[in-house]
Amino acid sequence: MSEQIDAHLAQSKPLRQCQRCRSSPATQDVRTQKLCDDCFILYIRTRPIKRIEAVLRSTTTNKLLATPGSEPVYLLSLSGGPTSLALLSALDSHITSMKTKTGRSSYALHALHISSPPPTPTINLAALRTAFPQLAFSSVLLSSALSSFPAPPQLTQQIPNYASLNDEARLAALLSRAASPTARADLESQLRARALTSFALAHGQSIILLGSSATALAELTLAETAKGRGGAVVAGLAEDGAVLASDHIHGQPGAGVKVFYPMRDLLRSDVGAYINVAALPGQGQEGKLATLLLDGGEEGKGRHRALKNVAIDELARTYFRDVEEKFPNIVHNVVRTVGKLDGSATANGGEEEGGRSRRRCVCCGDVVASHRADGVGLRDDVEGVRVEVVEGMCKRCERDFGVEGEG
* Interaction site with Zn ion (CB under 5 A): 18, 20-21, 24, 36, 39, 361, 363-364, 366, 394, 397
Q: How far is the CB of 321 from Zn ion (least distance, A)?
A: 28
Residue 151: CB atoms within 10 A of its CB come to 17
Interatomic CA distance for residues 107 and 98, integer angstroms: 10
Question: Are 404 and 398 in contact, with CB atoms under 8 Å apart?
Answer: yes
Minimum distance from residue 395 beta carbon to Zn ion (Å): 8
For the chain, the straight-line distance linking the first and the last C-alpha, in angstroms and rounded, comes to 88
Return the number of the residue (134 or 157) whose C-beta is nearest Zn ion: 157
Q: Which is nearer to Zn ion, 323 or 361 (CB)?
A: 361
Q: Considering beta carbons, is residue 131 or 367 the nearer one to Zn ion?
A: 367
CB of 19 to Zn ion, least distance (A): 8
Closest separation in Å from C-beta 404 to Zn ion: 12
Nearer of residues 39 and 334 to Zn ion, judged by Cβ: 39
397 neighbors 367 (Cβ within 8 angstroms)? no
Q: Please report how close the Cβ of residue 244 comes to Zn ion at its closest, in angstroms.
A: 17
Nearer to Zn ion, 290 or 394 (CB): 394
C-alpha–C-alpha distance, residues 76 and 112, integer Å: 6
CB of 223 to Zn ion, least distance (A): 16
Dihedral (C-alpha) 260, 264, 270, 274: value to the nearest 10 degrees? -20
Rounded to a whole number of angstroms, the minimum distance from the CB of residue 83 to Zn ion is 23
Of 166, 73, 88, 173, residue with least CA distance to 123: 88
**Could you give the 3-state DSSP secondary structure of residue 75?**
strand
Helix-strand-coil percent breakdown of the chain, rounded to 5? Answer: 45, 10, 40
Closer residue to Zn ion in complex, CB, 224/366: 366
Q: How far apart are CA 47 and CA 50, in angstroms?
A: 5
Minimum distance, C-beta of residue 394 to Zn ion, in the bound complex (Å): 3
CB of 378 to Zn ion, least distance (A): 12
Closest CA to 387 of 373, 402, 366: 373
**Do 285 and 100 meet the contact criterion of CB atoms below 8 Å apart?**
no
Which residue's CB is nearer to Zn ion, number 131 or number 397? Answer: 397
DSSP letter string over 178-220?
Answer: -SSHHHHHHHHHHHHHHHHHHHHHHTT--EEE----HHHHHHH
Peptide bond into 14 cis (omega under 30): no
